[in-house]
Amino acid sequence: MTYTLPVLWYEYHALEPHIDTTTMEIHHTKHHQTYIDKLNAAIAWTERAEKSLVEVIQSIDILPSAIKGAVRNNGWGHWNHTFFWQCLTPHQTQPSESLLSAINASFWSFDTFKDRYNTAALSVFGSWRVWLVKEYDELIIKTTANQDSPLMVWEKAILWIDIWEHAYYLKNQNRRADYLTNIWNVINREFVSQQFDKKY
Ligand code: MN3
């Protein structure tokens, strides 16, 4: 099985003016594609490739040590970006009642949650990632290094915003805060709610 780039259901320009067309196109066709190419190159020779992506990358320990690093970085890079594209939408969507009440319980309000998420995303240094994860019925903002994912420790990812520079530098240059302010206009609250409500 060869991993392939997921097709986006919206156009690259659909998230303008919040995320610019060129950034979306390069992020999807170059950055994301590179993770996929390197992942395919790393595991093409093993039968692990017959498993689902999550099965492969959640059991990296059983892989030959020579390919562990490449599969960890590029496998989770592929999974994270596939998730990220779904966290975005050109349309206004609403959070479900259950997600909203969990956000209110964990953060007081949606605005407070956004502030806390943005503060975390502005505080991390270097190659870190900031997630909203569900632990039992509680929502927690969590950071991971490099391409690591909460799913590595079987936590449930609810939302991830890519804050690496390639996600915003063409439009916002060094102003990550501007990117973070803008991106909440295109966050797919319906998809995020589905992740929260999903039983697995
Ligand atoms: Mn990225």
pLDDT of 154 reads 83
pLDDT-based confidence at residue 110 (cuts at 50, 70, 90): very high
Helix (H) or strand (E) holding 158: strand 156-161
| Residue-averaged pLDDT of the chain | 92
According to DSSP, the β-strands at 138-145 and 128-135 are: antiparallel
pLDDT-based confidence at residue 200 (cuts at 50, 70, 90): low
What is the 76 CA–ligand 1 centroid distance (Å)?
A: 11
If one counts every other C-beta atom within 10 angstroms of the C-beta of residue 57, the result is 26
Assess whether pLDDT exceeds 70 at residue 95.
yes
pLDDT of 151 reads 86
pLDDT mean over 135-144: 90
What is the 34 CA–ligand 1 centroid distance (Å)?
A: 11
What is the 134 CA–ligand 1 centroid distance (Å)?
A: 22
Which ranges of 48-188 would DSSP assign to H, the alpha helix? 53-57, 65-86, 97-107, 110-123, 169-172, 176-183
Q: What is the pTM of this model?
A: 0.94
What is the 31 CA–ligand 1 centroid distance (Å)?
A: 6
What is the 94 CA–ligand 1 centroid distance (Å)?
A: 25
What is the 59 CA–ligand 1 centroid distance (Å)?
A: 23
For a pLDDT cut of 90, what percent of the chain falls above it?
A: 76
pLDDT-based confidence at residue 153 (cuts at 50, 70, 90): confident
Of the candidates 100, 121, 97, 127, the residue with the CA atom closest to the CA atom of residue 183: 121
What is the 98 CA–ligand 1 centroid distance (Å)?
A: 29
Degrees, nearest 5: CA angle 108-112-118: 145
pLDDT of 147 reads 86
Task: Concatenate the DSSP letters of all residues of 114-151 into one string.
Answer: HHHHHHHHHH--SSEEEEEEEETTEEEEEEEETT--GG
Q: Which tens digits make up the pLDDT trace of 159-192?
A: 999 999 999 999 999 999 999 999 999 999 999 9
Assess whether pLDDT exceeds 80 at residue 49.
no
pLDDT mean over 193-200: 88
